[in-house]
């Protein structure tokens, strides 16, 4: 949904109005991205609870506090990943179906379905450029009781990638506004 946020403003004829406000468009669309996250959060919690209910075996967590923080950091990573697609979607037209083709690939390399270490080497290298893959590594390490320093390293890499994604997103928003 976030990937279509800026393009939808254009298609609905409200992008010009957004650009005339004193608030930068990037902040307005970021607010929309957070609203979309809040809208999707109940489904995420329900999915997590269903997985726990059907788990066959021990579901104990070695470091619950680290797991909770890692999960929150993974959520921030998802926002950063989805947010970059708002200007990309606008710049590419967003309606040509390439989002639909990209979403399964993104799901496979995001670290949410399975550890990225199970991917082929070339695909794993791409996955390591995505903040959620490092965040999910931290989730797994928190659950398994891997050293705190390893979890903190994954957090640091996640935040470094998030910062990089946000910088690129701001630049892409400027290009999109210039194009509009």
What does each of the 180 residues of the chain score in pLDDT, given as a tens digit? Answer: 777 778 778 888 888 888 888 888 888 888 888 888 888 888 888 887 887 788 777 777 888 889 899 999 999 998 898 888 888 888 887 665 666 677 777 778 888 877 888 889 998 999 999 999 999 999 999 988 888 999 999 999 999 999 999 999 999 999 988 888
Q: pTM of the entire structure? A: 0.83
Contact 101, 5 (CB under 8 A): no
Q: Any idea what DSSP says for residue 55?
A: -
Q: Which of 119, 100, 103, 102 is nearest to 111 (CA)?
A: 119
* Residues sharing a CB contact under 8 Å with residue 77, sequence separation 6 or more, in sequence order: 130, 131, 132, 134, 135, 158, 161, 162
What are the helix and strand counts (H, E) for the chain? 8, 0
């Amino acid at each position: 949904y976030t990937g279509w946020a800026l393009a939808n403003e254009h298609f609905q004829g409200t992008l010009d109005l957004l650009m005339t406000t004193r608030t930068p468009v990037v902040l307005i669309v970021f607010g929309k991205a957070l609203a979309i996250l809040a809208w999707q959060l109940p489904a995420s919690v329900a999915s997590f609870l269903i997985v726990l209910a059907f788990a066959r075996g021990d579901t104990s967590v070695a470091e619950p506090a680290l797991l909770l923080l890692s999960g929150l950091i993974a959520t921030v990573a998802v926002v950063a990943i989805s947010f970059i697609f708002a200007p990309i979607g606008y710049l590419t037209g967003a309606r040509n179906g390439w989002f639909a083709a990209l979403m399964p690939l993104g799901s496979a390399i995001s670290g949410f379905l399975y550890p990225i270490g199970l991917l082929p080497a070339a695909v794993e290298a791409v996955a390591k450029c995505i903040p959620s893959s490092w965040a999910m590594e931290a989730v797994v390490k928190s659950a398994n009781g891997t050293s705190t320093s390893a979890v903190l390293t994954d957090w640091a890499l996640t935040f470094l990638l998030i910062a990089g994604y946000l910088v690129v997103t701001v630049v892409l928003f400027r290009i999109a506004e210039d194009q509009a």
